[in-house]
Structure 1
Amino acid sequence: MHAVSLLRSKGVAFQEINAPHGSAERGEAIRRSGSRTVPQTFVDGKGLGGCDDLMALDRAGRLDALLGKV
């Protein structure tokens, strides 16, 4: 499962920003997250990490609270 699929399965509204290599959007995601990988997920300006991080948060039962679903 990818980050977008996971967020859709949670029923939360989100904005997906295309960030191809070398784009300003990719640079901004890297700057804001401190990570050199994309995608990166942010909720209310707070970085949650990449896809693996989202999956780990979900497995640990912590993602819903971070998404405001509880």
Structure 2
Amino acid sequence: MTDQPLKPCPFCGSVPEIESSLTRIDFGRRLRIECIECGSAGPAVRVNMARRNNDARAIDEWNKRA
């Protein structure tokens, strides 16, 4: 994970989680932050295996909208 704090959901205030998914279009893995209470989700961030900051990028995208 990262040292960057994850902001609560801007819609319901619940604690979100990092979700990982495999896309069918390019067969790549993506990460996004998703609220487990209301289902709100941040933008998907494509995982780059050469980078180690994939979680931080997903958190940064979520925090921009929160």
With the length of structure 2 as denominator, give the TM-score of the two structures. Answer: 0.35
Which structure has more relative contact order (CA 8 Å, sep 6+)? It is 2
With the length of structure 1 as denominator, give the TM-score of the two structures. Answer: 0.34
Larger fraction in helix? 1
Larger fraction in strand? 2
